Amino acid sequence: MDANSDNAQAWLSHETLIVTPIPPRRATGFCGRRRVMLLIMQRRHFVPTLALGSLGSALARAQSTDRAHGRSMVIARGGIVSTSQVLASQAGAMILDKGGSAVDAAISANAVLGVVEPMMCGIGGDLFVMYREAATGKITGLNASGPAPRAMTIEVLKAKGLTKMDSTGIHSATVPGTVRGWEAMHRRYGKLPWNKLFDTSIHLATDGFPMQEMVGRVWESALVRKDAEGVRVFYPNGKAPEIGEMYRNPDLGRAMKLIATGGADAFYKGEIATAILGKSAKLGGLMAAADLATFEPEWVTPISTVYRGWRVHELPPNGQGLAALSMLNILENFDAAPPFSSTEFHRKIEAMKLAYADLKFVGDTRTVKVPTAGMISKPYAAQRAKLIKPEEANCAVQPGAPPMSSDTTYFSVVDRDGNIASWIQSVSGLWASGVTVDGMGFHLHNRGGGFSFDPSAANALAPGKRPFHTIIPAIMQKDDLHIGFGIMSGANQPLAHAQFVSYIADHGMNLQAALDAPRFTKGRATGCEVTIESRAGLDTLRELSSKGHQITIAQPYSARMGRGNAVMHNAKTKVNSAASDPRADGSAIPQPE
Catalytic (active-site) positions: 408
Are 522 and 529 in contact by the 8 Å Cβ rule? The answer is: yes
587-590: strand order across its sheet: 298-300, 139-144, 126-132, 420-426, 409-414, 80-83, 587-590
CB-side neighbour CA atoms (13 Å) of 349: 33
Q: What is the DSSP string of 358-406?
A: GGGG-S-TTTS---HHHHT-HHHHHHHHTT-BTTB--SS-----PPP--
Q: What is the DSSP letter of 3?
A: G
Phi-psi region for residue 149, left (φ > 0), alpha (ψ -120 to 50) or beta? beta
Strand partners, 29: 36
Q: HEC string of 101-130?
A: CHHHHHHHHHHHHHHHCCCCCCCCCEEEEE
Nearest to 443 by CA among 288, 272, 293, 238: 272
Question: CB 277: neighbour CB atoms within 10 A?
Answer: 17
Q: Is 438 helix (H, G, I), strand (E, B) or coil?
A: coil
Phi, psi of 159 (to 5 degrees): -65, -25
Are 235 and 245 in contact by the 8 Å Cβ rule? The answer is: no
Q: What is the DSSP string of 230-277?
A: HHHHH-GGGSPPPTT-EE--HHHHHHHHHHHHH-THHHHTSHHHHHHH
If you count them, how many residues does the chain have? 593
Strand partners, 304: 313
Query: How many helical (H) and strand (E) elements, i.e. helices and strands, does the chain have?
Result: 19, 25
